[in-house]
Amino acid sequence: MTLPPNDEPAIRVRDLARRFGGFIAVRGISFEVARGEVFGFLGANGAGKTTAIKMLTGLLLPTSGEARVAGYDVYRETESIRRHIGYMSQRFSLYEDLTVRENIELYGGIYGLSDERIAKRSTELIARLGLHDVRDTLVGSIPLGWKQKLAFSVAVIHDPAIVFLDEPTSGVDPITRRQFWEMIYTAASKGTTVFVTTHYMDEAEYCDRVSIMVEGTIAALGTPNDLKSRYGAATIEDVFVRLARPAA
């Protein structure tokens, strides 16, 4: 289930654009994300990031251009796309009024895992995250850091080809933030492609490649080291500020 049907990259985008009335949110972006890559998707607020992600996850139809996600077309095969991707947003997708185990079972069920498989994954997950003592506690009352790791695990419960993470580490403590990135690496090393947005610029350095969106276009794309040397900057934050400041 992890692999796209044929040999193409995890995400392939060509001249993708989206217009809202007279406003062009995304003006023809093109990029590819390789399988198993950790791809950082940066940009200022209002640069078009959210619109782009919505198109890639099949929530919004593009105005023009092409995009294939996990080998499926974003115009016609959104159902297949949704079955092959995982999604975790900054405000998490967990139900606060369900217990840890109920959340895992719910998402297992939503993604069509068999009861047997759900039971197995649930035991596995609870053990791996060390949530044994709180497995029957409401998610609303466990610490933020645990919640966030649980949300990630639930987002990949169906072994998706690609997982989209939208500001996943917002507001958590620095150690949990790093533990979270280790989970990302583990997932990537098993072949899952990770597509992540963040406002923590140090996290941009943890990505294999990053793209920086400015006013609806991709202003820069490359490995963190590439970008820093290209712009003669010490950090990705400097690159980011240099590209985005004229727009602000």
Partner 1 sequence: MTRGRADARAPNLDEPVVVRDVVKRFGDTVALDGVSMAVRRAEIFGFIGPDGAGKTTLFRILTTLLVPDAGEARVLGMDVVRDLWQIRPRLGYMPGRFSLYPDLSVIENLTFFASVFGTTVDAARDVIAPIYSQIERFHDRRAAALSGGMKQKLALCCALVHRPDVLFLDEPTTGVDAVSRREFWELLGQLKASGLTIVVSTPYMDEAGRCDRVALVQRGRILELDAPGVIGSRYRHPLVAVRGGDRQRVLTALREFPHAVSAFPFGETIHYADARSGSDPAAIARELDVWLAQRGLDGARAEAAQAGIEDVFMDLMETPRPQAAA
Of these, 5, 112, 127, 140, which contacts partner 1 (CB under 8 A)?
127
Segment lying near partner 1 (by CB under 8 A), choices 55-63, 69-77, 156-164, 177-185: 177-185
Q: Which stretch binds partner 1 (CB under 8 A): 9-17, 40-48, 101-109, 111-119?
A: 40-48
Supply the minimum distance, in Å, between the C-beta of residue 25 and partner 1: 12
Which range touches partner 1 (CB under 8 A), out of 9-17, 29-37, 51-59, 202-210? 202-210
Does 199 contact partner 1 by CB under 8 A?
Answer: yes
Using rule CB under 8 A, residue 6 touches partner 1: no
Dihedral, 31, 167, 184, 105 alpha carbons, nearest 10 = -110
- Cβ(39)–Cβ(207) below 8 Å: yes
State both tokens at 239: 């690159």
Instruction: Report the C-alpha gap between 47 and 82 in whole angstroms.
Output: 24
d(C-alpha 45, C-alpha 38), whole Å: 21
Nearer to partner 1, 93 or 225 (CB): 225
144 contacts partner 1 (rule: CB under 8 A): yes
Backbone angles phi, psi at 14, to 5 degrees: -130, 120
64 contacts partner 1 (rule: CB under 8 A): no
Q: Is 163 left (phi over 0), alpha (psi -120 to 50) or beta?
A: beta
How many H helices and E strands in the chain? Answer: 9, 10
Tell me which residue of 27, 32, 28, 36 sits closest to 2, measured CA to CA.
Answer: 36
Instruction: Using alpha carbons, list the distances in angstroms from residue 41 to 17, 142, 169, 191, 197.
Output: 16, 29, 14, 19, 5
Question: Binding to partner 1 (CB under 8 A): which residues in 7-36?
Answer: none
Q: Determine which residue in the list 174, 190, 191, 229 makes contact with partner 1, applying CB under 8 A.
A: 174
Instruction: Restricting to residues 148-167, name those near partner 1 by CB under 8 A.
Output: 167
Q: Candidates 12-20, 38-46, 66-74, 110-118: pick the segment binding partner 1 (CB under 8 A).
A: 38-46
Q: How far is the CB of 55 from partner 1 (least distance, A)?
A: 19
Residue 215 C-beta: closest distance to partner 1, Å: 11
d(CA 13, CA 224): 21
Q: What are the residues binding partner 1 (CB under 8 A)?
A: 43-47, 90, 126-127, 129-134, 143-146, 167, 170-176, 178, 181, 185, 189, 199-202, 205-206, 224-225, 235-237, 240-241, 244-245, 247-248
